[in-house]
Structure 1
Amino acid sequence: MIFALSSGLPPAGVAVLRLSGPGVFAVARQLTGKQRLPPARTARLRTLYRLQDHQPIDRALVLLFPGPASFTGEDVVELHTHGSPAVVAAVQQELLALGVRPAEAGEFTRRAFQNGRIDLTQAEALADLLAAETEAQRAQALANAGGRLRQQAEAWREAILALRAEAEADLDFADESDVTVAALVGPIRRLAASIEAALAGAPMAERVRSGLVIAVTGPPNAGKSSLVNALAARDVAIVTALPGTTRDVLEVHLDLGGVPAMLLDTAGLRESADPVEQEGIRRARARAAAADLVLNLGEGEGLRVVNKIDETGEAPGIRGGVAYVSALTGAGLDSLRAHLVAWARAQVPRGEPALVTTARQAHLLTEAVGFLAEAAAQTESLLRAESLRLAAASLGRLTGAIGSEDVLGAIFSRFCIGK
């Protein structure tokens, strides 16, 4: 049996303690002084008592979720107490005395996976939903938490297994089988094309998960750090008149109209004898080269930004592909922000969210496509059947039907303690 605080840290208006495992209903009965427990999925107010002296701890809502129709697939109890540190600590102490141990990070979700309530793709989507900071991240994660990829992967896997059965029938009953090598090539290639179509949206889906990258570059004292602070609406970068103040790449997260982005404040680009500054400049060039957009406060590629118009007297706004702003006074920043929001939204595909959203998923589906290509190219039935088996195995690892402890540990460690 495990328990965890599934709500925010106290103090709070309400604290939710979740228990899961065989015997948690008996634990709830002990905590409530052997009062009658409420019907399943019905909240009832009960007094929670200390075991030692039967003194009341709190009045709490008690809910029971019998397995297997619960989140974890086991019996689950939720205790909705008042959210003071003292109440939460007292209830946790009684749970420990009753043999319920604290849950590890992601252990509730891992049990849901192990009990067949969700597959690995749903677990990944749930982790993304819990970590979502923008509307685009929320929509993408929620769409896949319902099992879209699992359903499609199972359909692909069933099709592969059917093709493998035909290949093995040709192998075992070569004299009687009507299946020819050519007859299998077409279905195998169509199946591979279907998986490749799903993979096409993976790069942008990964961008939605991790954020678009916008690098701010230019010579020293051009106002890069001031611009980053102005766009972030807070002081995140050190601003001085001394060249070479920024030595490393500073990352700032932005919400651009619901699309996540990471703004990079980079070292000023100049010749320097300082080895530390040289390394900062090298990193700045590398990050700018990999960025989705560059805000260039000097000469070069990207969206050119002319800062310090409060000194030059130029009018604010975007003209001829150049943004004229003052990070000091804020002039022109609204136009620049609006431009960045429009650009970010244009990067996110409209319509149904991408099916493939993580590097792990993309790797396994790419692997499956490779094995299908091998199967289509084989002339021997035995080798064709083996390539199809390997393709099906890749899809099995995708959903967790086939898996390793290392992969499971990496996925579920992303969750908080209460989930």
Structure 2
Amino acid sequence: MRATDTIFALSSGAPPTAIALMRISGPDAFGAVEALAGRVPSARRASLAVLRDAAGDELDRALVLTFPGPNSATGEDLAELHLHGSKAVVRAVEAALAALLGVRRAEAGEFTRRAFLNGRMDLNEAEGLADLLSAETEWQRRAAGAMMGGAFTRRIEVWRQEVLTLSALTEAEIDFSDEGDVEIQNKHVISEGCIKLHDAIRQIVEAPGVEKLRDGLKIVLGGSPNSGKSTLLNALVARDAAIVSDIAGTTRDVIEVPVSIGGIAFLFLDTAGLRDATDDRIEAIGIERTRAAMDNADILLWLGEEGTGPAHPHLVEIAAKADDPTHARKGPDAVTVSAKTEEGMAQLVATLTEKAKTLLPPPDQFAINARQRDLLAQCASALAQAAEADDWLITAEHLRQARLALDALTGRAHTEDLLDSLFGRFCVGK
């Protein structure tokens, strides 16, 4: 990816479409427009133009817009061609652009990468954009929008300024403690500032992360064989995802079914029935996987005998098969359901969504990912060590490490491998 190249790519959906948006960015973006349209329209004004190739053959009649850098999406000269969205038109315009000297097709995420390198967005905003493009639920959209909008970046900048202030006070102690005209800050004041900042950052680190929003909360259905787990799963996801049979032990493996309910992503897991002993080796493996799934569950729906489920902070007792008078009843705290008559299903869905809201980041607030969480944890650890250090030089070094972690969050400090991994998530036209 050479930043000196002028790049182009289709930024709208795959043709055929009503309109196809072709983006061109780079030092010769306007030269490319002039080569095709015969002129460069006024900045930020849509202009109708006839596009022609090098031989003078008409390619399309399109709307052309130009956005001079640095005040553009990529921070450099940027042009948009709003074409008729047929496959033939798009291919012809792409061929004409590729034939121009110094102009090439963009690679995945290259437009957004240039926006980052040119200071139009930081790493957190770029990651928010990537999450927004892949969002499938309302909660995912809101969290991604908050991250892309810079809410997290603004919080980081506040923390960074506080760290810089603490560093300045520490340096004053190191350099000017013997001068009477300098106000000396004692260790207690600096340590207190480090601890206060550490606690604020740890709150974000320990909050629910974006992974739960993106991958879905794991809802495991557990219980004894033939307790109605598969039937309930099918009712919850509104399709026959699991085989239902009166034969105990029908489900041998963990079945995963993703679904969105109330704008929240869930991953339902149907499991093999639990029993103390079995001579069936395959069933025994399924039971082992069931126990592992229950250990990793965000919410456990227990269809077995009341009070016999594993210890879990979010266990919900389910009295299934309410339509069957011979089936075991449970206490008033259990959710009584019938997958056949739909009795109690609305209550179960409401229970799931209410519990989910306590396990997910609040709507309209940013949610951090694993990279961001690791760097914040490093920053918090450095601040804690700075607060405890007895030597001013050691305190200053820990504060420097805290500042470096914050810089890495926004991209002030970064590696090419990190950028390749991040921007590789985008499509070519982004």
Q: Tell me the CA shift for residue 199 of structure 1.
A: 3.1
1:303 equivalent to 2:303? Answer no
1:366 corresponds in structure 2 to: 377
Does the 8 Å contact 1:209/1:357 carry over to 2?
no
Partners of 2:128 and 2:197 lie apart in 1 by: 25
CA distance in 1, matches of 2:60, 2:325: 67
Query: Offset at 1:411?
Result: 2.0
Q: Contact 1:256–1:344 at 8 Å: present in 2 too?
A: no
Greater shift, 287-296 or 96-105, is seen at 96-105
Q: Distance in 1 between matches of 2:347 and 2:199?
A: 43
Distance 1:283 1:94, change over 3 A: farther
| Partner in structure 2 of residue 379 of structure 1 | 390
Q: Secondary structure at the match of 2:285?
A: helix
For each residue in 1:184-216, what CA deviation from the matched residue of structure 2 results, as whole angstroms up to 9, or x when unmatched? 22222222233233334x325543343222112
Q: Does structure 2 conserve the Cα–Cα contact (< 8 Å) formed by 1:248 and 1:267?
A: yes
Match of 1:65 in 2: 67
Q: Distance in 2 between matches of 1:415 and 1:274?
A: 47
Q: 1:346, CA displacement in angstroms? A: 4.7
1:120-146 CA distances to partner (integer Å, 9 max, x unpaired)? Answer: 111111111112212112111112212
1 CA distance for matches of 2:81 and 2:420? 28
For 2:316, the aligned partner's letter is L
Q: TM-score, structure 2 length as denominator? A: 0.86
Letter of the 1:265 counterpart: D
Provide closer, same or farther for how the CA distance between residues 335 and 166 of structure 1 changes in structure 2, counting only shifts above 3 A: closer
Paired residues of 1:256 and 1:340 also in contact (CA < 8 A): no
How far is 1:397 from its partner?
0.7
Match of 1:320 among 332, 340, 343: 332
Does residue 105 (structure 1) correspond to residue 108 (structure 2)? The answer is yes
Which structure 2 residues correspond to residues 185-264 of structure 1 after superposition, within 5 A? 185-200=191-206, 202-203=207-208, 205-240=210-245, 243-264=248-269
CA distance in 2, matches of 1:247, 1:20: 54
How far did 1:159 drift? 2.0
Match of 1:396 in 2: 407
Q: Aligned residue for 1:30?
A: 35
Q: What is the aligned counterpart of 2:350 among 322, 338, 343? A: 338
> Which residue is 1:165 aligned to?
168
CA contact (8 A) 2:142 2:364 kept: no
Alignment pair present for 1:184 and 2:195: no
Superposed displacement of residue 23, structure 1: 0.6
Range that drifts further, 127-136 or 204-213? 204-213
What aligned pairs does 1:47-86 form with structure 2 within 5 A after superposition? Answer: 47-52=50-55, 54-86=56-88
Q: Does the 8 A contact of 2:208 with 2:361 survive in 1?
A: no
Structure 1 gap ranges (5+): none
TM-score normalised by the chain length of structure 1:
0.89
Name structure 2 gaps, 5 residues minimum. 1-5, 310-314
- State how far apart, in whole Å, the 2-side matches of 1:116 and 1:326 are: 57
**Aligned with residue 294 of structure 2, among 259, 279, 288:** 288
Q: What CA distance in whole angstroms lies between the structure 2 residues aligned with 1:100 and 1:235?
A: 52
Matched residue count:
412
Q: Which secondary structure does the structure 2 equivalent of 1:3 belong to? A: strand
CA separation of 1:343 and 1:51: change in aligned 2, threshold 3 A: same
* 1:191 aligned partner, one-letter code: L
Please state whether the residue corresponding to 1:40 is helix, strand or coil.
coil
Q: Which amino acid aligns with 1:48?
A: L
Match among 44, 47, 58 for residue 44 of structure 1 = 47
- 1:312: Cα distance to partner? 4.2
CA distance in 2, matches of 1:172, 1:117: 38
Distance 1:56 1:272, change over 3 A: farther
Residues 206-259 of structure 1, C-alpha deviations (whole Å, 9 max, x = no match): 433432221122334444333223222233334455555544333222222122
Greater mean deviation of Cα atoms: 328-337 or 256-265: 328-337
The alpha carbon displacement at 1:329 in A equals: 5.2
